Amino acid sequence: MSQNSEYNKVDYIEICEVGPRDGLQNEEKLLTVDQKVELIEEVVAAGAKIIEVGSFVHPKAVPQMADTDEVARKLKRFDGVEYRALIMNLKGVERAEANGIMKAKLTVSASRAHSLSNLNKTPEEAVRGFAEVANFAANKGIVLSGAISTGFGYPNEGIIPIEDIYPIIDSYLEIGVTELSLSDTTGMANPQQVYDYAKAVKEKYPQILWNLHFHNTRGMGLANVVAGMQAGITRFDACFGGLGGCPFAPGASGNIATEDVVHMVNAMGVRTDYDLDKLITLAKKVQDYVGREVSSFILKAGKSLV
């Protein structure tokens, strides 16, 4: 396997495991606190350095995440491992701090129509509305990251032009957030677009630590990871077992599976921190716990090379 070829110059990627949050929040079956803690600690044992452990949002909004406080308290801490949680407001960051989660992720929708109908705010106004959260976080030593969801497209609205992304990034910078994720929440991104957008934001905002987040809704998930690497991105979200779905397409595939990403990039000569065999064992357990056939490829097909 060639490394650092003209095709791909990236030889290592960091994969953030978002299964405990973006995966489980879309599952019908609720896991127990102990099951969640077990899965997260096994993710760490498989090599994860960044795990999104849950979200501190209103329990009625996302019942699957109602127990994030307890999960956060029960979790063992490991040197060099970052636990982060999704938050939406001051209450959320307060809960993060109270439960010892020192990294919190904000999110806004890049779709103007979506943001206005949901929050009666433009995406930039929504970000600036996080100023109070940012102050609290800074005072308490909590680091914030930001997600730009539906960053490539939104149903009905269509493709989100890159020019609409820039002011959202600027707003995040205004409140001091310098780690951002461009997220294809609805599985609409294609590799050409990913390459163009990733290259553009990376060049225009070199001070930002960039992350990409893909769903495999239309089969392009892994192609989009490669396109991201070709644009020089080295951080990607992925989800054990490929859990999750798409609210606009019932039955569609969810997040790209961590084991599928690791399997592919390993074959390409790109390193990660993960042990693929441990990930496969973990994905089997995830499948058992959620009680349905998940959309991981490697779980079904096995590795290319044994």
Q: What residues make contact with a copy of itself under the rule CB under 8 A?
A: 1-2, 5, 7-8, 153, 155-156, 158-159, 186-188, 190-193, 195-196, 216-223, 225-227, 230, 246, 249, 251-253, 256-257, 260, 263-264, 267-269, 297-298, 300-302, 304-306
Q: How far is the CB of 204 from a copy of itself (least distance, A)?
A: 16
DSSP-derived letter for residue 182 is E
DSSP-based three-state secondary structure for 51: strand
- Report residue 109 as tokens: 């929708």
CA atoms within a 13 Å half-sphere pointing along the CA-CB vector of 87:
29
Question: Which one, 7 or 12, has the nearer CB to a copy of itself?
Answer: 7
- The CA-atom distances, in angstroms, between 296 and each of 24, 45, 263 are 15, 20, 11
Helices (H), the chain: 33-45, 68-74, 90-98, 112-119, 123-128, 131-140, 162-174, 191-204, 221-230, 258-267, 276-290, 297-301
Question: Which one, 195 or 210, has the nearer CB to a copy of itself?
Answer: 195
Q: Hey, which residues does 103 pair with through a beta bridge?
A: 84, 143
Question: Which one, 84 or 215, has the nearer CB to a copy of itself?
Answer: 215
Q: How far is the CB of 115 from a copy of itself (least distance, A)?
A: 20
The amino acid that residue 23 corresponds to is: G
239 is catalytic: no
- Rounded to whole angstroms, the Cα distance separating 74 from 217 reads 33
Catalytic residue among 13, 246, 261, 279: 246
Question: Which one, 27 or 69, has the nearer CB to a copy of itself?
Answer: 27
Query: What's the distance, Cα to Cα, between the start and end of the chain in Å?
Result: 16
Question: Which one, 63 or 158, has the nearer CB to a copy of itself?
Answer: 158
DSSP-derived letter for residue 239 is B
Q: Pairing state of beta strands 153-154 and 179-184?
A: unpaired
- Rounded to whole angstroms, the Cα distance separating 109 from 126 reads 9
Q: How far is the CB of 130 from a copy of itself (least distance, A)?
A: 29
Q: For 283, left (φ over 0), alpha (ψ -120 to 50), or beta?
A: alpha
Catalytic residues: 246
